[in-house]
Structure 1
Amino acid sequence: MTTRPQTPSRSAEGPENPWPALWALIVGFFMILVDVSIVSIATPALMSDFRAPIEDVLWVTSAYLLAYAVPLLITGRLGDLVGPKKIYLAGLVVFTLSSLACGLAGNIEQLILARVAQGLGAALMTPQTMAVITRTFPVDRRGSAMALWGAVSGVAFLVGPLLGGLLIDSVGWEWIFFINVPVGIAGFVAALRLVPDLQTHAHSFDWVGVALSAVGLFSLVFALQEGEKHDWGTIAGPISIPLLLTVGLVLLAVFVWWQSRVQPEPLVPLGLFRDRNFSLANVSITLMGLAINAMMFPMLVWLQTVRGLSPTEAAFVLVPQSIASIVLAGPVGRLIDRLHPRILPTIGLGGFAVTLFALVALMTPDSPMWLIVTVITFVGVTGALIWGPLATTANRNLPVRLAGAGAGVYNTTRQVGSVIGSAAIAALMSARLAAHLGPAGGEVTMGEGGAAGLESLPPGVVDGLSQAFAESMLLPAAVLVVAALAAAGLERMKHQRS
């Protein structure tokens, strides 16, 4: 019924106390998630050092997210085939070495290439963390473990800008990448010693599906990110933004069709989606990934331009929400296994949407900063109700042999949302800036930062910047409403305690 573990000294379920292994994995998992958001705060510094336009600097984030998202479908299966520990360690090595390459990059092109390698390393690591939780924690303790996993997801998105701001203002942008090297080494040693060797399962690989999903997703993201720059028209020769959008959507549709036909084993077992909770949790987490990335960029740029804050000061505005996520992780973990699955994520996603709508109203040149900080704190409060509960609900009913596939799909959908959110918010911001300030709006915004830059701008420009950034925040707010409606459809889990 099950295969024998490769390491006789460890049982298929892992050690009696799986927490040390989880904490070892958390080190690397936290690091790769921080790198999703840490570059947002470095945008002005990268533009200045490399003399690069905003479109190129945005690719520093999008290239990482794209390289992170596309391979997740196959790296989850690799964990099942080779063992999650081995794949995790390999990914950590790739991520750590590419972080060093990022810090040493001499131009924006080298940095983007190094970020692609970083994303590939992150893709190898991420599904293994969820798979280890699913396979080593008993059902009645899995909620607490997933709550910690979810808290790490939420806190990392909030800590990234704070850590980035401190490093940029003190030792330079290079150190937002160099700092990963000692952390990566420590994480490797911890995982090598504490993570068990779990049993493996034979799988075949759907390379056609890999190609369809990779090309389709890249075409879609590239078109979204470059659309405003090329006025949603022609890029070069016969290649145009509408063509790329069409190609991306068609290839992704063909990918779904192919997954329903391919034998013996598809890249995405569509049977996973027969589980109502798995399907709805994936919808919600995709939209959550989109929203959290889409809100971060306009908020941080608004704080540095319109409100005249330094990178560190802007990042400190986010500190209360990080604290809220950390404080609430434990209580939420205890509630996951006791409450109906729909309660926590529906409240969290709905509350997050209300929080963003409130921020839209507060993003003016003279609104009280204490009020802004208070409202932003609820991003952390609501996030604690989202990450862990959704992850637990998505994977609890899946059989052990599909743990890797389920983790791969779940993390892929989350990262696809992040990729689309990053590209979509860039396009929306450019459009709103052009609407309020004319075609040169984006250049004025990004070229002037901090209090000194703000003082040199006329009041009309400052008001236009505020309106553009505030209107951009409506996108993630609206998306979260849809996510909350999806979460409201979750049903009681098969193994849920009464």
Structure 2
Amino acid sequence: MELILKPGLSTPQRTASARRILASLSLAILLSSLGTSIANVGLPALAQAFNATFQQVQWVVIAYLLAMATLIVSVGRLGDLTGRRRLLLAGILLFTLASILCAIAPTLYWLIAARALQGLGAAMMMSLAMAFVGEVIPKEKTGSAMGLLGSMSAVGTALGPSLGGVLIAGPGWQAIFLINIPLGILVFVLAQRYLPLDRPAAQRPRFDHLGTLSLAFTLAAYALAMTIGRGHWGLLNVVLLLAAACGIGLFVLVEKSAVSPLIRLDLLHNTAAGLAMSALVASVIMATLVVGPFYLSRAFGLSAAHIGLVLSVGPVAAALTGMPAGKITDYLGAQASTLIGLSGMVSGTFLLTLLPVSVGLAGYIAPMVIITSCYALFQTANNTAVMDKIASDQRGMISGLLNLSRNLGLITGASLMGAVFALAAGTNALNTATTEAVAQGLKITFTLASLLIVLALAIAIKDKRSNRAASAQPRTRAG
């Protein structure tokens, strides 16, 4: 699949056109990220409006994440085959229409179904927006473009809770979905006007329906295993994990025999390191969101409003770092920037095990700024490194895999890190845990987080050495 820019454009005109395209893609990322975070703050209001339990309304969030996780690779690959522009426009339209369905939902089950449709639209926007970057942005500027997309993702994540709180306190819970409608229309108009046309292909490969179904089954089983029970594991969680393991085997068999596979297994050899690092780092980032509210409440006695302000420091730091991270990646290279980002995250997670107890609230905020700023650098560099290795006709699929690895890391981190924190604190009743208990929980949780980042750092070093050896091999033969 190729893209058509208007012929006869001068260099300044092409630069301006690329900027407009990047603005359209950035707003699509912002919209999908906002949809992820804005609903969380509305769960208490939704529980009251629908007379439901917290476990029931939690599916408003889970349905969105499940739809994204299970379908993001498939829609990325479908964009490779049928045209990214038309599928991205369809995703924006679906997200906007699903937002209307959410706002008028008469029952909780209606709302959950509409949120799943919204998640599908978000999956289309996230996977295809990143895939577009490699087509319209010069390679030497790819890092900056990825940095901008990362910044917009962080802005959406940071804006969601605060904007959602204001809307719920004013117009009501429906407003957290209605706000997406004017934004969705704006993004649709910009994307339709500025995104380059899809070039018709002489012959398109067939879409791998069986591979899509087997992958969706596998991912859904794993995501449900990680989310059901909120960290308290039972027989159903084990059964779902076994189903996911069987699904992996089935998917590999299907892909090996497919004429046009959903995922070319040989491509995973070049991207496996980046995908693994993305999942490991995302699980640590989720730990800050899961553990943070309980620790800040019990250790410092902060109110819900103040906790929200403290938690927003991380996404704000990531948003401010996104553009500089892109320039650093363009200047130093993706692999060196990846190592710097991971090294900074190791230091941040280690400091988080020591400073809060001895310094106080500032000792919590400072390491969080380090962690999230370095995460922005890592994510920009890692995405750039992975996408640079991929041919044009596979970028949608690989972009989907990058987003999938991040989402699976977030889902795993929410379950694993939450369970570790409760176990280390010695109680499941975290709302009434003592200061000493939550301090111990924080220390153990982020000691584990440090080890996960060290593992990611080891993978990055090994990958760099492998790439260096591969690039030196032809010269050795020539000599």
- Is the TM value for this pair above 0.5? yes
Question: What residue number does 1:415 align with?
Answer: 407
1:406 and 2:398 aligned: yes
1:280 and 2:273 aligned: yes
1:395 and 2:387 aligned: yes
- Cα 1:167–1:300, aligned 2, differ >3 Å: closer, same or farther? farther
TM-fit CA distance, 1:44: 4.3
Q: Could you say what the CA RMSD is over the residues aligned between the two structures, in angstroms?
A: 3.3
- For 1:193-233, what per-residue CA distance to the aligned partner results, in whole angstroms no more than 9, with x for missing partners? 11111325523221221121111222222223225687513
| CA contact 1:89–1:188 (8 Å) conserved in 2 | yes
Question: What residue number does 1:352 align with?
Answer: 345
**Number of residue-to-residue matches in the alignment:** 463
- Cα 1:228–1:188, aligned 2, differ >3 Å: closer, same or farther? closer
| CA contact 1:40–1:296 (8 Å) conserved in 2 | no
- 2: CA distance, partners of 1:83 / 1:318: 39
- 1: CA distance, partners of 2:169 / 2:290: 18
1:343 and 2:336 aligned: yes
Question: What residue number does 1:37 align with?
Answer: 37
Partner secondary structure for residue 198 of structure 1? strand
Partner secondary structure for residue 150 of structure 2? helix
Letter in 2 for 1:250: C
- Cα 1:312–1:93, aligned 2, differ >3 Å: closer, same or farther? farther
| CA contact 1:150–1:391 (8 Å) conserved in 2 | no
Selected match of 1:327 from 320, 332, 345: 320
Q: Which runs of 5+ in 1 are unaligned?
A: 234-239, 446-456
Selected match of 2:206 from 204, 207, 210: 204
Q: Which runs of 5+ in 2 are unaligned?
A: 472-479
- 1: CA distance, partners of 2:8 / 2:422: 54
TM-fit CA distance, 1:46: 4.2
- 2: CA distance, partners of 1:230 / 1:297: 14
Paired-residue identity, %: 28
User: Larger % of helix: which?
Assistant: 2
- For 1:258-298, what per-residue CA distance to the aligned partner results, in whole angstroms no more than 9, with x for missing partners? 32x123211111121232xx221111112233332343133
- 2: CA distance, partners of 1:307 / 1:39: 26
- 2: CA distance, partners of 1:475 / 1:111: 37
Selected match of 1:218 from 214, 217, 220: 220
- For 1:48-85, what per-residue CA distance to the aligned partner results, in whole angstroms no more than 9, with x for missing partners? 55454443344332221110021122211221233211
Partner secondary structure for residue 385 of structure 1? helix
- 2: CA distance, partners of 1:112 / 1:472: 32
- Cα 1:397–1:292, aligned 2, differ >3 Å: closer, same or farther? same
| CA contact 2:92–2:184 (8 Å) conserved in 1 | yes
Question: What residue number does 1:243 align with?
Answer: 239
Question: What residue number does 1:71 align with?
Answer: 71
Question: What residue number does 2:266 align with?
Answer: 271
Range that drifts further, 178-187 or 147-156: 147-156
Letter in 1 for 2:395: A
Counting only pairs closer than 5 Å after superposition, residues 75-474 of structure 1 correspond to structure 2 as 75-201=75-201, 202-227=204-229, 232-233=234-235, 240-259=236-255, 261-275=256-270, 278-303=271-296, 307-361=300-354, 368-425=360-417, 427-428=419-420, 435-436=426-427, 441=429, 445=431, 461=434, 463-464=436-437, 467-468=440-441, 471-472=444-445
TM-fit CA distance, 1:340: 4.1
Letter in 2 for 1:436: T
Letter in 2 for 1:337: D
- 2: CA distance, partners of 1:427 / 1:57: 21
Partner secondary structure for residue 193 of structure 1? helix
TM-fit CA distance, 1:308: 4.6
| CA contact 2:69–2:219 (8 Å) conserved in 1 | no
| CA contact 1:62–1:422 (8 Å) conserved in 2 | no
| CA contact 1:352–1:382 (8 Å) conserved in 2 | yes
- Cα 1:287–1:162, aligned 2, differ >3 Å: closer, same or farther? farther
| CA contact 2:289–2:311 (8 Å) conserved in 1 | no
Letter in 1 for 2:453: L
Question: What residue number does 2:477 align with?
Answer: none
